[in-house]
Structure 1
Amino acid sequence: MEIMHEETGSHGRYSTSVEGHTGEMTYSRTSPQLIIVDHTLVPDALRGKGVGQALAKHAIEEARRGGWKIIPLCPFMKAQAMRHPEWQDVIQG
């Protein structure tokens, strides 16, 4: 699954298109070392296909590569962070 990344100013978005539908995870950058994941949207047509999980994992990998932390305000990302103790190195709060 190819994840696209867009960042404009302090706002960013990870997205992927599957079967003509797009899932996304958005964030706000509060500093060079911190982002807040504030929203995840997976259309009903993509539910159960691992799209949300792929977006969350990509955000974690990007944080590790970039040396920043993630505050998971989005309920989906917060739940994923709780399910994956191995992600705690980049999760704040």
Structure 2
Amino acid sequence: MSMLIEDDPANRRFEILVDDALAGFTQYVPRDDVLIFTHTEVDPGFQNRGVGSALMRGTLDKVRAQGQRVVPRCPFMAAFIDRHPEYADLVTSLD
């Protein structure tokens, strides 16, 4: 099973492709150098196979590489960051 995470700025989301099929996405609202993540979805056919975690890891790695920060309003992303403190430095607030 090959997984690829890509940013789709036109749709304001990062997508995960599994064997070239869209398996899930996480939506964001861009604000300067911050991405406000609002919703994550994994196709039911790909759930419980590590796709959501791979999507989070790949998305956060790309955000870090681009020098951006995140506001995890999506509960799935917030819970992932809580379980993986190596990504906690990417979290910021909008004050």
Q: CA deviation at 1:3?
A: 1.4
Matched, 1:76 2:76: yes
SS at match of 2:80: helix
Gaps of 5+ in 2: none
Distance of 1:15 and 1:66 partners within structure 2: 17
Normalized per residue, the structure richer in helix is 2
Name the structure 2 match of 1:13: 13
Gaps of 5+ in 1: none
**Alignment: residue pair count:** 90
Aligned-residue RMSD, C-alpha? 1.6
TM-score, length-scaled by structure 2: 0.83
- In percent, how many aligned pairs have the same letter? 31
Distance of 1:36 and 1:74 partners within structure 2: 9
Distance of 1:24 and 1:74 partners within structure 2: 12
Aligned residue runs from structure 1 range 1-93, under 5 A:
1-8=3-10, 12-18=12-18, 20=21, 22-31=23-32, 33-93=33-93
Determine if contact 1:21/1:46 at 8 Å carries over to the other structure.
no
TM-score, length-scaled by structure 1: 0.85
